[in-house]
């Protein structure tokens, strides 16, 4: 039973990832560049930092 649940979870994750990637493209964001940039910024952020600029609709790559 656990294997079926794990397989289903992986399937849902893959589907959600593809859906989000398509949504990011809609905002003019290249998904891999966006993901790399956001993941590089997160470790230096604190709980008080505004995460809004990291949303695909507001994201601007670092210069």
What's the first-to-final CA gap in the chain, in angstroms?
49
**How far apart are alpha carbons 52 and 12 in whole angstroms?**
26
Taking residues 34-42, what's their average pLDDT? 89
More confident position, 20 or 60: 60
Reported as type and span, the H/E element at residue 14 is helix 2-26
Per-residue pLDDT averaged across 33-61, rounded? 87
Q: Determine the longest span between alpha carbons in the chain, in angstroms.
A: 49
- Does the structure show a pLDDT above 80 at 29? no
DSSP state of 43: G
Q: Domain ranges for the chain, please list them.
A: 2-42+50-54
Residues of the chain above pLDDT 70, percent: 65
pLDDT of residue 6: 65
Residue that the structure tokens 């589907």 belong to: 15
pTM for this entry = 0.54
As a whole number, the mean pLDDT across the chain is 76
């Amino acid at each position: 039973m656990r294997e079926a649940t794990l397989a289903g979870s992986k399937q849902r994750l893959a589907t959600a990832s593809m859906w989000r990637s398509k949504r990011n493209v809609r905002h003019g964001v290249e998904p891999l560049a966006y993901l790399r940039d956001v993941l590089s910024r997160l470790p230096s952020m604190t709980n008080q930092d505004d995460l809004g600029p990291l949303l695909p609709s507001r994201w601007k790559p670092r210069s």
